[in-house]
Amino acid sequence: MESKYDFLPYASAITLLLIFVFLQDRDGISPLEMGLFTVILFILVRQLLMTADNGKLLVRLRDKNEELGKSEERYRELVEISPSAVTVIQEGNMVYVNKAGLKLFGAASLDDIANMPLLEIIHKDHWDQILLRSQLARENGNATKPTEYKVNRLDGRTIYIESAVTTFNYNGKSALLSVAQDITARKLADEKIQRLAYNDLLTGLPNRARLHDRLSEQLAAAGHNGARLGVLFIDLDRFKFINDSLGHNIGDLFLWQVSERLTSILGLNSVLYRHGGDEFCVIAEVEGREEAREIAEQIIEGLSAPFLLNQRELFYVSQHRHQRVPGRRGGSGNPGHVRRYRDVQCQAGRGQLLSILRFGPGRRQRKQTEYRK
C-alpha cells in the first residue's frame, strides 16, 4: 500500500549524498556523522507523520464501524418489523428468522428453529423445486421469481407460502435470503372458487361445466384409442311435485340422497355428474351395449328402494331407453344431442352409447302423500 511519506527515505539518501559532497573538505565536521544524523532525523519524522496518519485512520475506521453497526441495527429493526417472513439460510440450515417468520413457521422463538434444515419444514412434494430455486439463485446471483410451496409448521399444520430467494453475505459467508408470505387463505379461496365453478353446491358432485369439459376430453381420447364410453342421463320426473308438496328442503334432501345412493352404486370406471335441476349424468368406460345396460339396471335397482325424507317414504319408478349416438369412421363424430338435453353437445365416436333413465313418483308415494296430508 502506497503512502504519501514513501519519498522520505529517498530524500534522506539524497541529503546524505549532498553532505558528503559539500562537507568532506571542511575541518571539524564529520560528513559521516552529519549524514547519519540527517537520515535518522528523516526516519523519525517519517514515523511520527505515519503514526499521526494511522491515528486518524483508526478514528475514521472506528467511526465507520459505528456507522456500520448502526446501519446493521436499523436494517435488523426493519427486518424484524417486516410483515413478510425473512429467513437466512446457510449450508441448507436456517440461521436467522424474523418475528413474522417465527409466526409463519409456528415457532415460539429463534431457538426452536435455529440451525434446523430448511427441508424439514418444506413439504416433500416441493423438495426438488426448493433445491432447484436455490441453485439458480446461487448461479445467477439474482432474486428468483416468487414460487408457491407447502410448508409443515412446527405445530403440525400445513400451509401454503409464496417465497422469493436471493443470495447475499451473512457474517462473512455466502447465504440465501428468503422473503415469504402466507398465501393459505388465498389458496383456499381459489380452491373454493374452483369448486363453485366445477362442483354442485348441494351434492358436491361435478357439475354441468365439468361434464362438458370431461365429456369432450374423454370422447376425444376414445376416438384415438378405440375405447367406448357409456353416457347415461338420469331424469327425476315430477321433481317439482316433491318441491311443491313437501317443500324445497325435502326436495334438496331427496337430491342429496339420490347422489349418495348413485355414488355408492357406481364403480371406479364411472363418474357421476349433476347436470342441473333434477338431472344427473353418468360417464362410464364400457366394453359395449351390454355393460351399459348392466350399469343402467344397477341404477334402476338402487333407486327403486324407498327414500326416507323427514319420516316420509318416497318411492320412484323408472323408465329406461338407450340408443347409439351416430359417429364417423376414424374418431370423433358429428355433434349429436338429445332434444331434452340440448345444452350437452356429444361429439361422440362411432359406437358410443347414450342411455336415458327417467324416474317418476310411483303410486305408493302418491297414496302416502295423500294419506299424510
pTM of the predicted model as reported, rounded to 2 decimal places: 0.54
CATH number attached to the domain at 82-187: 3.30.450.20
Domain ranges across the chain: 8-78, 82-187, 199-372
**Which DSSP symbol is given to 122?**
B
Q: Digits of tens for pLDDT over the chain (373 positions)?
A: 555 555 556 566 566 556 555 555 555 556 566 666 666 666 666 666 777 777 777 777 776 766 666 566 666 777 788 889 999 999 999 999 999 999 999 999 989 998 999 999 999 999 999 898 888 888 887 788 889 999 999 999 999 999 999 998 888 888 999 999 999 999 999 888 888 889 998 999 999 989 888 888 887 777 677 677 788 888 887 788 888 888 889 889 989 999 999 999 888 888 999 988 888 988 888 887 788 888 888 888 888 888 888 777 877 655 554 444 444 333 343 333 433 333 333 333 333 444 455 455 554 433 333 323 3
Q: State the residue for C-alpha cell 519524522.
A: 45
Class of domain 199-372: alpha beta
**Which DSSP symbol is given to 325?**
P
**Which DSSP symbol is given to 242?**
H
**Tens digit of pLDDT for each residue in 150-166?**
999 999 999 999 999 99
Q: Which of 354, 329, 318, 317 is nearest to 339 (CA)?
A: 354
Contact (CB, 8 A) for 197 and 208: no
